[in-house]
Each structure stands twice: as structure tokens, then as C-alpha cells.
Homo-oligomer: A and B are copies of this chain.
């Protein structure tokens, strides 16, 4: 008889990581008839410490599954635990083994980003080497969309929808005054500019929108940005600039660090705040900087239905893979064809996903390095499509909560 499933979540939150969790629960019913699903609190740490809840008991029925799939952040909590190599962390591995044995676990599923996929890789090798029959599979998530081996990553589409919508609203706000003004919007993405790309979507739709976009993948100088803004101000009184927090100069320095000391407060300020100061000094018009901050990664109230659906299916897919005896793999999305949006779901070795960072392709950025190309727009558009039918109570969306005190 097959054993049970243990699932954990890790890394930063997204709007749809709980949809993948719901997918895992659904996959258990679909592909592993009879398996109970247990949840580990705070990622792999819960397995190590034995903090386990029963998802089979706590998420019963379609309504609860549906609500879970529409709840942002992580129902099971997260961790930032870096797994030691087996030779340096004997106790850690023994603790994991002990917990998985206790709950008769056949499949361990880790939903997370780069680091979590490295845990999938390490753990699966460890079990294989020791001849223990526990499959370890991963479900990718990250708003940054920087995982390799998959066309895109669950969490990105919803964050992109939020950013596109919010930038369009910010730009509508900026358009009302008849005066020269620059608005800088700083968007998450330390190394990859995918999220900042989403700021360009309303531009392609003819809406009020940013005229300039800067990504970490194309080094730029403060001088060039100032001159770009001056150029745009010739034809538009309200200039909106979307800038990735990770934008760098040609020396590889973060933009924030490149500002002259007088604008500095480097320890406090991100790219947006520094640009605000520089533009105030160099152009002298009204300048405002807006940092989208964490709301961009958890805005379930404007989740992409495409994203939610795909996150769910990747959860199911990981279970299907484990049911067919695969281990050390991650479920991924493959896109077929460039014209119509057509995807299929597959698995990829965790190795491919764990140890590399995807960047925005250079042909997604224009020649000048100050906007995205239509190719980038076409890549993103299908991922933000579809609205989720949310349940509201008392004016705000209802969320699902797992009772974390009900340990089993």
C-alpha cells in the first residue's frame, strides 16, 4: 500500500501558492487514492521540528478547497532555512527521516523557489542513496519569474496583473494635473526584471501608462535616465517611470548606490527614492516616488485566473509524477507556439530549476534600454488574463485559515 503525502511551502509569499497547495490535495485524491495529506508548518522546519497538521482533515469539501486556492501568502507558513549538505547535517536529515516515517510518508512535496528546489534535489538524492522509498517533488512559485526549466512561474501572473492594473491607475492619477511632474514607481526584482516589465502592459493597451521602464538586465546610468525623462517631457507633462529595485549601472553597482552622496541616504533608500532626489535636483519639477512593496506579491484580490489555475495544476502534476515513481523533479509549464497561448504541463529535473536564475531576454528590452518590446508584452499578456470569482464578506475577500495549533 502506498503511503501518505507531506507538503510544505517556502520562500516569499505569492497570491497563488495556496492554489498549488490545493492542487496537491486534489492530486492526492486523483493519483494516490487513499493517501492522507499532511502539512508541515514553516517549510522544511516543520518536518525537522515535527510541527505537522492534517490537511485531509482541515481542508474538507469543495468550498474550502476553493477558498484555499484564493487565499494569498502561505497557509502553512514559510521559512528561510538553508538545508545543510547531508555530511554536515546528520541530525537534520535524521529528524526529517523520523518525521516522514512517523506519518508513513511516501511523497514529500515542496512548494517554493530556487532554494526550495535545491532542497528537493538534495533530499531526493539523499533518500535514493540510502535506498529509502520516499519521492521528493517540487512545485515552483515565485513572483520574480526567474526559475529555469519552466516557461513562467506561478505567482508571476497575479503579481503582473496587480502591477499592470496599479500602474494604469497611478498613471490615471498623474494625468489629471496640468503641470510638469515625474512619478517614479519602484517594482520588486533584485536580479530579474520580469515584474517591472508588467508596468508596460497598459502602454500597449493605449491606457495612461509609464513611458519609461528600466530593468536590471540592461545597465543604465543616472545621466541617461535623466536625459530620457527630459526627452519625454517635451511631449508629455506627466512622465511615469517604472524602475526595478535591482537596476544597475554599467559598473554593476545598484543605481541607489551610484547616486552622489548629497542625494544619498543610501542605507535607507531604494532606486525609486534616489531617482526622486536626482530628478528634483536635475529637472526641478514636481517628483514623487512610489514603492509598490509587499502588496505586489500578495494581492489576491486581483489574482489572475490563469495563474491560479496553472498553480493548481502544477500541484496536481507533482503528485502525478510522484505516483509514477518520479523523484527529484519539479512540475513545470511548457508553452507551445508563439501566436495562441497554449501550454502543457510536465516535469523537469530539480537540478535544472534549482541552480540557475532566469533573466529577461535581451529582445524583450528596446534598443535604448528604456522600455519593453512587443515581444515582452506578448509573453506576459496571457499570464494576467482572467478574473477570479472571489467571495467577499464584510467588504473584503474571505480567506482560508489553517488552524496551526491543531498539530497531529
Contacts and interface: CB of A to CB of B under 8 A. Distances in A.
A27 interface: no
Nearest to A81: B178
A265 interface: yes
Interface residues of A, number: 62
Given A168-B396, A169-B299, A304-B395, A176 B294 contact: no
Contacts of A78: 176-177
B201 A169 contact: no
Interface stretch (A247-255, A328-336, A379-387): A379-387
Interface in A191-211: 201-202, 205, 207-208
A201 B395 CA distance: 9
Interface string A35-50: 0000000100100000
Contacts of A346: none
Nearest to A163: B396
B173 A73 contact: yes
A395 B161 contact: yes
A163 B314 CA distance: 32
A262 to B, nearest CB: 12
Contacts of A290: 291, 293-295
Contact of A301 (B169, B177, B277, B397): B169
Interface string A218-243: 00000000000000000000000000
Interface in A157-194: 161, 164-166, 168-170, 172-173, 175-178
A371 to B, nearest CB: 18
Contacts of A408: none
A139 to B, nearest CB: 16
A5 B173 CA distance: 25
A71 interface: yes
A300 interface: yes
Q: How many copies does the complex hold?
A: 2
Interface in A62-92: 71-74, 77-80
Contact of A73 (B175, B202, B268, B387): B175
A394 B204 CA distance: 10
A234 to B, nearest CB: 18
Interface string A106-129: 000000000000000000000000
Contacts of A79: 177-178
A168 B399 contact: yes
A381 B396 CA distance: 10
B394 A178 contact: no
A304 to B, nearest CB: 7
Contacts of A295: 166, 169-170, 290, 292
A298 interface: yes
Given A396-B205, A396-B207, A172 B304 contact: no
Interface in A3-20: 9, 13
Nearest to A297: B173
A239 to B, nearest CB: 15
B161 A396 contact: yes
A172 B73 contact: yes
Given A172-B399, A396-B205, A177 B387 contact: no
Contacts of A294: 170, 173, 288, 290
A202 B396 contact: yes
A141 interface: no
Interface of A: 9, 13, 42, 45, 71-74, 77-80, 161, 164-166, 168-170, 172-173, 175-178, 201-202, 205, 207-208, 265, 268-269, 273, 277, 288, 290-295, 297-302, 304, 381, 384-387, 390, 392-397, 399
7 tightest A-B contacts by CB? A384-B395, A73-B172, A78-B176, A169-B298, A173-B298, A290-B293, A74-B176
